[in-house]
Amino acid sequence: MTASPRPNGPASPRRRVNAALWRHEIGRVGWVGWSAPFAAVVVAVAFATLANASGTPRPYVAGVLLTGLEAFVPLAVGLVAVTAIARDVGRELHLALPRSYLATLGRRVAVVAGSGAVASITFWVALLGTGWWSGPGPATATLVWLAPTLALAGLALLVATLGRSVVIATTTVAALWVGQQIYAASMAASAWGRPFLLFLTSRVGTPDGWLTNRIVLSLAGLAMVAATAGLIHRRLLDEEER
């Protein structure tokens, strides 16, 4: 007769291994990895506080807070995600193990993405509770941060994999981010540019085509993540940046 695990009994070995793996990856990503999205929120709140104290009108201050959610947190997740899949001194050893290396990289990116999601949701709830929220209603509010996060993280991972370089990946994401901030008005005004504008909510609001923009960005991000997963075994990043 075999004993089945009791509901409140000790966890199964498989579950214990999985929990240990996640704990290890959280530790490996490091304090910078999981705290970067929260740091982005802190920066947005600091800017908004400074703006409020210097007499900036309330709508601009609310816009800064919305920018924190739509622009700062996705930037942090995108740049840290590159670091999460680069630099692994134990890579060759891991490739010899029965566990999939792709799953390991996925766990590392998931730690960063999860941290971004927790920071974003917490920040959104806080803005809603304090009356500073100026974005769309609760049904679509998630898309304010999720769509640009997927797009920037997907781009960062794909460029890092194709270029095999942290510098090229982070520069691409940084240039796209700053470039879209500079050309936001032109992009929002053009029919081809609007679906790809990362900051449509904070720079324009929720005009016609907002949902299309969010869906396009989300799908593009998911497609780039999928492409990265397909390519990464053939183009693992080097330990030393070239």
Interaction site with other proteins (CB under 8 A)? 30, 32-33, 36, 39-40, 43, 47, 50-51, 54, 56, 60, 64, 72, 75-76, 79-80, 83, 87, 163, 165, 167-168, 170-172, 174-175, 177-179, 181-183, 186, 239-242
Residue 177 burial (CB count, 10 A): 20
Query: Rounded to whole angstroms, how far apart are CA atoms 121 and 134?
Result: 15
The residue assigned the tokens 């890579």 is 91
Judged by beta carbon, residue 80 or residue 144, the one nearer other proteins is: 80
Minimum Å gap between C-beta 34 and other proteins is: 12
Angle at which helices 101-130 and 73-85 cross, to 10°: 160
- Nearer residue to other proteins within complex by CB, 164 or 219: 164
Closest contact distance (angstroms) between CB of 239 and other proteins is: 8
Closest distance of CB 89 from other proteins, Å: 9
What number of CA atoms fall less than 13 Å from residue 174's CA on the CB side?
9
3-state DSSP call for residue 174?
A: helix
User: Phi-psi category of 55—alpha, beta or left, where left has phi over 0 and alpha has psi -120 to 50?
Assistant: left
What is the distance between the alpha carbons of residues 233 and 129, in angstroms, rounded to a whole number? 45
Q: Toward other proteins, which CB reaches closer, 9 or 40?
A: 40
Alpha-carbon span 232 to 62, nearest angstrom: 40
Smallest distance from other proteins to CB 100, Å: 25
Of 162, 147, 125, give the one whose Cα is nearest residue 202: 147
Nearest to other proteins of 50, 128 (CB atom): 50
CB of 69 to other proteins, least distance (A): 14
3 or 191: whose CB is closer to other proteins? 191
Longest C-alpha distance within the chain, in Å?
A: 75
- 214 sits in the region (left: phi over 0; alpha: psi -120 to 50; else beta) called alpha
Nearer to other proteins, 23 or 241 (CB): 241
139, two tokens: 């049904």
* Distance in Å, CB of 154 to other proteins, minimum: 17
Considering the complex, state which of residue 19 and residue 238 has its C-beta at the smaller distance from other proteins: 238
